[in-house]
Amino acid sequence: MRILHSVIQGEGPDLIILHGFLGMGDNWKSHAKKFAQAGYRTHRVDLRNHGQSFWDDEFSYDLLTDDLLNYMDHHEIEKTIVLGHSMGGKTAMHFACSKPDRCEKLIVADIAPRYYPPHHQHIIDGLQAISPENLKSRTEADQALAAHFDILGLRQFLLKNLYWKTPERLAFRFNLEALSNSLDMIGEPLSGTEQFTGPTLFLKGEYSEYVTLADHAIIQVHFPSARIETVASSGHWLHAENPEGFQHAVLPFINQG
C-alpha cells in the first residue's frame, strides 16, 4: 500500500492539512507550526501527484479520499480534524461526507461544494512550454516562467515545486501529465445526496470569487452545521495573504469542545 508523504509536528488531537492544486504540504509550514504550538498533532500531507508523494495516472476525489483513509489507518488515526484549501478543500468535503465517523471537524478554505469550470489550463500550458531538465538554475527557471506568468507570487508558488533531481538536473515535484489530464475532475461538485452534519467551518477570502453569497445555500444543503466566515484583506490564497486572520478564524473553531 502506498502512503502519502507528510511532515508531522506536535502532540495532541490530529489535524490533517490538505493543500490545493499544484501545491504541497510545505505551503502550510508556518500554519502547521502554529497549530502544533496550540496543542495539535498536525499533518502536512502531500496529495498524490504532488510534493513528495507517489505518482499515479489515476486522479479523482474518490481516490484522494481513499489515500487519506489509508494514511489515517497507517498512522493509527481513528478520527481527525481536516483542513483543506481549494482542491484540498474539495477532498476534505468528500472525505467528511463519505466517512463522517472519521471526521471530528471540517474546515474548508475558499471553495464550495459546487461545480467549477476548468480554469487552470493556462498554468498547465505555461508549465508544459518549459523544460526544467534544460534549466541550469532557479533564476533561469524564473525567467522561463516569466515568459508565461507575469505575477511574481504565482511564479514563486510554482518554483517551490522545483528541485534538483540530480546534481545537474532540475525537475518538478508534481506529476504534470497526470494533472493536465485531470483538469475537468478538479472542479467536480459533491453529489446531491452527500452530507456531513458535524462541526464545519467554511472560510472565504474577502476579495475571492470562489465562494459567493449564492453558494451559501448549497453549502448548507451538504453541511447543515456549517459556519461561513470571511477572512479580511485576502483573495483565494487567504491563508498566505492574511495568515493572522486565518489563524484567528480557525483556532477558536478547532478549540471549541
pLDDT in tens, 82-123: 999 999 999 999 999 999 999 999 999 999 999 999 988 999
- C-alpha cell recorded at residue 28: 502550510
Report percent pLDDT > 90 for the chain: 86
pLDDT > 80? residue 257: no
Distances in whole angstroms, Cα of residue 39 to Cα of each of 15, 164, 251: 10, 35, 10
pLDDT of residue 227: 98
Q: Does 6-116+188-255 carry CATH code 3.90.1150.10?
A: no
In DSSP notation, 94-157 reads: HHHHH-GGGEEEEEEES--SS------HHHHHHHHTS-GGG--SHHHHHHHHHTT---HHHHHH
Say if residue 142's pLDDT is above 80: yes
What is the distance between the alpha carbons of residues 192 and 77, in angstroms, rounded to a whole number? 29
Bridge partners (DSSP) listed for residue 107: 83, 201
Q: Is the pLDDT of residue 130 over 90?
A: no
Q: What is the pLDDT, as a whole number, of residue 168?
A: 86
Between 137 and 112, residue with greater pLDDT: 112
Domain ranges of the chain: 6-116+188-255, 121-180
Tens digit of pLDDT for each residue in 1-41? 899 999 999 999 999 999 999 999 999 999 999 999 999 99
What is the spatial distance between Cα 61 and Cα 22, in angstroms, rounded to a whole number? 15
Residue 236 among the catalytic residues: yes
Mean pLDDT on 145-157: 89
What is this structure's pTM?
Answer: 0.96
**Residue found by looking up cell 456549517 in the block:** 226
181-234: pLDDT as tens digits: 999 999 999 998 899 999 999 999 999 999 999 999 999 999 999 999 999 999
pLDDT of residue 136: 87
Catalytic residue among 86, 182, 208, 234: 86
